[in-house]
């Protein structure tokens, strides 16, 4: 009986996330057609700190769910964006919430929301740099 309920919940969850995934795929497809590759090469220089900072800023200003991050990350890498920028973008995209900040501040307090978002931003940069440096060692 529990297995049947678990399967039902899983299928319902997959059904509910399908529009999000399709929307992300469509948005990524539109962006890859509309935005020329030269924009990425101008925006991201391949330098460790500047790419992580720019990726973190863009990710912080955006909002997204972890499930769609794989699609976006893959598309960015195909466009020639550095791994450091993609990693930092994705971590900050999921953890930093500039768009959600007013609601978070109203519910949890301004000070808490500010410190949480600042620490998440700094940690996103650290995680991005640490990920790339670790992969270089392997």
Tens digit of each residue's pLDDT (9 = 90 or more) over 22-58: 776 677 667 666 766 566 667 877 788 889 999 898 8
Tens digit of each residue's pLDDT (9 = 90 or more) over 57-100: 888 887 777 777 788 888 888 888 889 999 998 999 889 878 77
Of the candidates 49, 99, 98, 54, the residue with the CA atom closest to the CA atom of residue 76: 54
List of residues 6+ apart from 95 with CB closer than 8 A: 120, 123, 124
All structural domains of the chain with their residue ranges = 37-137
Q: pTM higher than 0.95 for the full model?
A: no
CA-based torsion, 122, 127, 128, 133: positive or negative: positive
């Amino acid at each position: 009986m529990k297995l049947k309920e678990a399967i039902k919940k899983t299928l319902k969850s997959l059904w509910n996330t399908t529009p999000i995934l399709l929307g992300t795929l469509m948005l990524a497809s539109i962006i890859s057609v509309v935005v020329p590759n030269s924009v990425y090469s101008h925006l991201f220089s391949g330098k460790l700190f500047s790419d992580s900072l720019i990726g973190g800023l863009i990710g912080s200003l955006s909002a997204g769910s972890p499930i769609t991050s794989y699609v976006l990350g893959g598309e960015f890498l195909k466009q020639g964006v550095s791994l450091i920028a993609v990693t930092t973008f994705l971590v900050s995209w999921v953890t930093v919430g500039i768009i959600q900040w007013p609601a978070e501040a109203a519910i949890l307090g301004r000070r808490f929301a500010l410190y949480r978002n600042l620490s998440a931003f700094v940690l996103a940069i650290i995680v991005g740099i640490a990920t790339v440096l670790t992969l270089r060692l392997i």
